[in-house]
Structure 1
Amino acid sequence: MKYDLIIFDCDGVLVDSERLVNRITAAFFSERGLPIEADALRAMFKGKTMADLARWAETAAQPPLSDDWFYELGIATAQGFQRDLREVEGVRAVLEGLREHGTKICVASQSPPARLMLSLAVTGLDAFFGGHAYSAAQVGRPKPAPDLFLHAARRMGAAPERSAVIEDSRSGVLAARAAGMTVYGYAADEEPETLVAAGAIVFESMAQLPHLLCAG
C-alpha cells in the first residue's frame, strides 16, 4: 500500500449518524419553539461543528432557549445513539483489512470528544483505533482548515504526503487537500459532484475502498 496512515472521518464514514443526528436535533429544537426540518439542518450544518450549530440556535430562537439547552441536546443525542446508532455498512471489513495489513489508522472528526468516543464505543469500532481519535476541539481551526488532519498525522508519526483521508463532506475534503493529503470521498449521502469538485476521489460503497487505497 502506498499510504503510511489512513485517517477516517467519523460521522457518515464510520458511523451512520448524519440523518440520525439531524432527526434528533430537529425534534429537539421544534419542541422548543424553533421549528426546523431534519433535511434543512443537514443542508446547513453537514461538515460543520457544534459551535456553528450553537451560534445559529442562539440567534434564531425566539423566545431564547434555556440556559441548559446545549446540555439537554447532548443528553438527547446520547440517548438516540445508544438506541439507534449503527456502523456504516462495510466499514468494519475495511478496518479489519487495514489492521491485517499493518497500516496505521486513526479518526479525525468535527464532533466534540465526548460524542466522538460515544459513537465509536456504541458501535464497537473503538477497538480498531486504540485511542487514536482526534477532535476539532483539539486544534485552533476546524475543517475546512487543515489543522485537524495535520494534528492527526503528527500524532501518528506520518508525513502528510504519505497519508490518505476518508471523508464524506465538502469541508472535510477541502481540509484534507489543504493538508497535502490524498482524499477519498464517500458519496453515500452526498452528491458525488460536490466531492469531486472539492478534490476527492469518489466512491459510493465501502467495498470499493480497499482497491482504491491499494491502487493509490
Structure 2
Amino acid sequence: MRVLVLGMGKTGKLVASVAAERGHSVNVLDAKENAGSAALTPPFVAGFDVVIDFTTPEATIQNMRACLATGAKMVIGTTGWYDKLADMKSLAERKQAGLLYGTNFSVGVQVMLKMAAVMGSELKKAGYAFSIAETHHASKLDSPSGTAITLAKTVEAAAGVTSVPVEAKREGDVMGLHSLSAASDADRLVLTHEAFSRRGFAEGSVRAAEWLSSRTGCYDFQSVYTEI
C-alpha cells in the first residue's frame, strides 16, 4: 500500500514508522512542504492509496478539501475540526472518496467509551454525578481533547443528562490521561485510560488506513474499530 502521511510531528513520524514496519511504501510531508495544501495536487494525491493526516485543525480542513475532491481515501487523526465534519462528509460522498476519522485511534479508549456508556446507564438512577478530567502534553492545541468531548457525549446520552463537566490540563509531555468519575454520597467509581506512548494511536491509524484502502464512504473509528 502506498501511504502519504501529512504532518511531521511526534505522532506523524511514528505513523510513518509503523506504516513502514507493516510493509507499506511511505511518503511524508511536513508543514513547510505542504503550506496551504499546495503540494496536494490531483496528480500527486493519485499516487497514493491512502492519506493519513496528523497535522493541525486548520491544516486538516485544507488537506481534506484538496484530497477528498480527488476521490482520495483519508484517515484523519487530527481533532478540533469537527465543526466542519458535515461539510467534509458531504464532499467525500459527492466525490465517492473515503473518509475515516476518530477522536482517538486507541482500541483501549474505544473499550473505555463502551464502559462509560454502561456507567452512565447503570448509575443514572442512583444519584451519581459524573465528571471528566483529562491531561495532555503542553503542545496539544485543542482543549478539552476530542476524546474527552466524545467521552462526555457518551455519558450524557447514556445517563440522560445535559452536561458532564470536563477539566482539561496541558502540561509536560503527557501522552493522554482521561478519567471518568461517578460520585454519590456513598461512594465513587473512577474509569481511567492512560496512554504510555503515541504508538497505540499510530498503530490504530495505520490499521484504519489498511481497512479504508478498499472502501469508499464516511466512517467514525468508534463505529468500525472492531473490524479493523
- TM (norm. structure 2) is 0.30
Bigger RCO (CA 8 Å, 6+ sep): 1
The structure with the larger Rg is 2
Of Structure 1 and Structure 2, which has the larger fraction of its residues in helix? 1
